[in-house]
């Protein structure tokens, strides 16, 4: 007898079916998800699940409502997913409802005959996971942006130094671009990036020793072959078993910083040397004062012709010595500049004994003076500075020998001189310094007047010579033009305004008809021999001199002197109390006191500052007795 389906699958008793239905409803209600079904019109037919409470939805309020009108936040993606399911396709999508992120899946809902009658869907609250995932993506993106935007070169490399990854800053530092990144990645650190042989191995040894390295000084080679100074740091990245995985390396380009530090050290060194030179010149000036003063006094007496001639030789020698101290003062920038009319022909001619040994025996030095006089208004020491610096540069440009020509001429305002709109004269004195050295290219010519720029080897040049020349020329209303070509030598043309003023009278006149007086002069000078010479000379002119060894002693002398003091003659630089301070203190007692400052060891600012005082005069050392007498009389008579 054939069994019927009812016999094979007996009917479940009603009580059992009721309990099963209750269980299914409870299961659906407590399920940690959102469950729903729709009809073919996408109207909700049922909603269940614990997620309803989380999103604030009551199932009864939505049954019968259409999907797109009920959930305003429903995206087009979710609607399309439902429509695809009506066509028999399953779909996954994400949707945000009432601030919660849900991951959903919908499938066709079929009757027992397999006909699609609606949609069945399930959604899980994925908010925590999605937030964590978004945070991770944001963190990764931020890290990538940080690596790309940070101004330090960062790379990842193998233990052998093969590059694996580089950031944008490293490409730029080594003069690569995004298109040539692959070219850099095929290079390695020890052979292509670290410039000096063995430096990568030294860096690697330190890295392996302590896993982290900071501040390793090295030089890296750029794509162009140029080398840069870098500070390198790195760390070792290991796997879980402690084996080296790769290296992370960071580098900072410190080329410009090192250059600035080098310039600062050079400037400090030059300042120290300048202070030493200025101090030596100051002491030497005091000695010259005594020699020149005594000789000048002897020349004013009636002497035999031979004795007179010998004394004139001593005076000429002291003049040359004075020129040397002036150059020392110029080097230390402590000289007192006094612009006056002078003949450039004569200045350069007198420099010849200094120039010949300077340029060496392998160089043929020639001087072509201008016809007649070539007068300009300038401090003689500045002309000497300019010529000495240009001659030194020319010598260095001709290591195997050559020819150096210094030519002076009077020229009319022309096209070259007209480059400066500040020209005030139609006539110029042209000083041309020409050499037959190796010359310069255009790039070098464009920078030669920059302070600290030099093409010489380290330790052989300061880079200040030509900048000083430029400053002197411009300060005196002139222009300087350079003409050069590689292999064809260099010519510097200096244009200084020509002056028609008469040259000052020669100082060889005897001390005749000098202005005299009977006033009282307080004289403060810390150098005993100079103080004795000047005191004796002023006394011979009829003045009453009150000598003092320094500023403090001068105050004591002034306070103890019962009579009137008409003028203070004082050195600027003295121990315990300087000349300016002395003058200020004395004018509290004697408001109308006239003051003459004397020094050879001051700068422009100090001179100007002291001359701001009323009834004040300045006399630079070493001075002649004639100049002293005239200055004293001028100060007393005004």
What CATH code is carried by the domain that includes residue 230? Answer: 3.30.450.20
pLDDT at position 470: 80
Judgement on whether residues 400 and 378 belong to the same structural domain of the protein: yes
End-to-end CA distance of the chain: 157
Alpha helices (H) along 333-461: 344-359, 380-396, 442-445
Q: How many degrees, rounded to 5, is the angle at CA 620 between CA 614 and CA 622?
A: 150
Judgement on whether residues 535 and 451 belong to the same structural domain of the protein: no
Q: Is 440 part of any domain?
A: yes
Count helices and strands in the chain by DSSP H and E runs:
21, 22
Q: Is 634 part of any domain?
A: yes
pLDDT at position 421: 39
Q: Is 261 part of any domain?
A: no
pLDDT at position 147: 62
Judgement on whether residues 404 and 468 belong to the same structural domain of the protein: yes
Query: What's the number of CA atoms in the CB half-sphere (13 Å) around residue 223?
Result: 15
Tokens linked to 207: 């890295």
Measured CA distances, 505 to 339, 340, 380, 508, 509 (Å): 15, 12, 16, 9, 9
Q: Is 276 part of any domain?
A: no
pLDDT at position 273: 66
Judgement on whether residues 245 and 374 belong to the same structural domain of the protein: no
Q: How many degrees, rounded to 5, is the angle at CA 349 between CA 503 and CA 400?
A: 150
Instruction: Tell whether the torsion through CA atoms of 386, 387, 389 and 394 is positive or negative.
Output: positive
Judgement on whether residues 359 and 493 belong to the same structural domain of the protein: yes
Domain containing 457 — which CATH number?
Answer: 3.30.565.10
CB-CB contact of 87 with 71 (8 Å): no
pLDDT at position 530: 86
Judgement on whether residues 160 and 212 belong to the same structural domain of the protein: yes
Judgement on whether residues 81 and 192 belong to the same structural domain of the protein: no
Domain that holds residue 200: 150-253
Judgement on whether residues 494 and 571 belong to the same structural domain of the protein: no
pLDDT at position 8: 43
Boundary residue ending a domain (450, 480, 507) = 507
Measured CA distances, 286 to 326, 361, 381, 497, 534 (Å): 13, 35, 19, 34, 12
pLDDT at position 595: 93
Q: Is 621 part of any domain?
A: yes
Boundary residue ending a domain (474, 489, 507) = 507
Measured CA distances, 600 to 284, 320, 597 (Å): 10, 16, 10
pLDDT at position 278: 65
pLDDT at position 181: 86
Judgement on whether residues 397 and 318 belong to the same structural domain of the protein: no
Judgement on whether residues 484 and 400 belong to the same structural domain of the protein: yes
Strands 100-110 and 116-125: antiparallel
Boundary residue ending a domain (210, 232, 253) = 253
* CA separation for the pair 519, 420 (Å, rounded): 51
Q: Is 5 part of any domain?
A: no
Judgement on whether residues 314 and 204 belong to the same structural domain of the protein: no
Total structural domains in the chain?
4
Strands 616-620 and 594-599: parallel
CB-CB contact of 206 with 224 (8 Å): no
Judgement on whether residues 560 and 614 belong to the same structural domain of the protein: yes
Query: Please, what are the averages of pLDDT over each run of 10 residues along the chain (638 residues)?
Result: 47 59 60 83 84 71 76 69 89 77 86 89 76 59 62 88 89 89 88 91 91 92 92 90 88 89 74 68 74 77 75 74 62 59 88 78 87 86 83 85 90 58 67 89 75 59 67 82 87 89 51 76 90 89 93 93 93 87 91 87 48 74 82 87
What are the two backbone dihedrals, phi and then psi, of residue 306, each rounded to the nearest 5 degrees?
Answer: -65, -40
Q: Is 433 part of any domain?
A: yes
Q: Is 521 part of any domain?
A: yes
């Amino acid at each position: 007898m054939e069994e019927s389906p009812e016999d094979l699958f007996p009917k479940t008793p009603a009580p059992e079916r009721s309990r099963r239905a209750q269980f299914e409803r409870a299961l659906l209600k407590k399920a940690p998800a959102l469950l729903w079904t729709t009809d073919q019109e996408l109207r909700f037919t049922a909603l269940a699940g614990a997620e309803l409470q989380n999103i604030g939805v009551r199932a009864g309020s939505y049954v019968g409502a259409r999907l797109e009108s009920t959930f305003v936040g429903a995206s087009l993606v979710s609607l399309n997913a439902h429509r695809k399911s009506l066509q028999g396709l399953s779909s996954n999508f994400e949707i945000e409802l009432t601030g919660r992120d849900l991951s959903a899946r919908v499938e066709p809902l079929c009757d027992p005959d397999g006909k699609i009658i609606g949609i069945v869907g399930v959604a899980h609250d994925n908010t925590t996971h999605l937030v964590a995932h978004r945070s991770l993506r944001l963190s990764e993106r931020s890290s990538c942006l940080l690596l790309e935007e940070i101004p330090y070169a960062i790379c990842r490399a193998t233990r052998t130094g093969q590059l694996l990854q580089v950031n944008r800053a490293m490409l730029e530092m080594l003069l690569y671009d995004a298109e040539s990144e692959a070219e850099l990645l095929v290079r390695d650190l020890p052979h292509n990036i670290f410039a000096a042989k063995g430096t990568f191995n030294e860096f690697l040894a330190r890295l392996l020793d302590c896993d982290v390295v900071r501040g390793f000084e090295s030089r890296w080679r750029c794509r162009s072959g140029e080398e840069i100074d870098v500070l390198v740091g790195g760390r070792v990245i290991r796997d879980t078993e402690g084996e080296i995985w790769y290296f992370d390396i960071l580098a900072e380009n410190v080329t410009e910083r090192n250059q600035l530090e080098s310039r600062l050290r050079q400037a400090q060194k030059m300042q120290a040397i300048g202070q030493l030179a200025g101090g030596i010149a100051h002491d030497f000036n005091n000695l010259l004062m005594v020699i020149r003063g005594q000789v000048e006094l002897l020349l004013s007496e009636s002497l035999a012709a031979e004795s007179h001639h010998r004394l004139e030789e001593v005076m000429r020698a002291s003049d040359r010595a004075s020129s040397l101290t002036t150059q020392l003062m110029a080097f230390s920038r402590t000289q007192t500049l006094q612009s006056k009319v002078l003949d450039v022909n004569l200045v350069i001619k007198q420099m010849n004994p200094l120039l010949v040994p300077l340029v060496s025996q392998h160089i043929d030095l020639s001087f072509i003076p201008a016809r007649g006089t070539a007068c300009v208004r300038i401090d003689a020491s500045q002309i000497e500075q300019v010529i000495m610096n240009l001659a030194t540069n020319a010598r260095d440009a001709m290591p195997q020998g050559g020819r150096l020509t210094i030519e002076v001429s009077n020229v009319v305002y022309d096209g070259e001189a007209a480059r400066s709109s500040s020209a005030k004269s139609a006539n110029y004195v042209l000083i041309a310094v020409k050499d037959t050295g190796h010359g310069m290219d255009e790039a070098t010519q464009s920078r030669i007047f920059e302070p600290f720029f030099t093409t010489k080897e380290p330790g052989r040049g300061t880079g200040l010579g030509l900048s000083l020349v430029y400053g002197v020329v411009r300060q005196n209303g002139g222009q300087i033009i350079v003409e050069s070509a590689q292999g064809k030598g260099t010519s510097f043309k200096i244009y200084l305004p020509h002056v028609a003023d008469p040259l000052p009278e020669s100082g060889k006149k005897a001390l005749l008809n000098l202005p005299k007086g009977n006033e009282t002069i307080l004289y403060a000078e810390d150098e005993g021999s100079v103080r004795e010479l000047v005191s004796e000379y002023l006394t011979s002119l009829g003045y009453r001199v009150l000598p003092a060894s320094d500023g403090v002693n001068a105050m004591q002398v002034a306070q103890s002197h019962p009579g009137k003091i008409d003028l203070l003659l004082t050195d600027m630089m003295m121990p315990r109390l300087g000349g300016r301070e002395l003058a200020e203190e004395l004018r509290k007692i004697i408001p109308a006191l006239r003051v003459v400052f004397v020094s050879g060891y001051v700068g422009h600012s100090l001179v100007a500052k002291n001359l701001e005082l009323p009834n004040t005069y300045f006399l630079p050392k070493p001075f002649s007795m004639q100049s002293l007498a005239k200055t004293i009389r001028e100060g007393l008579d005004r």
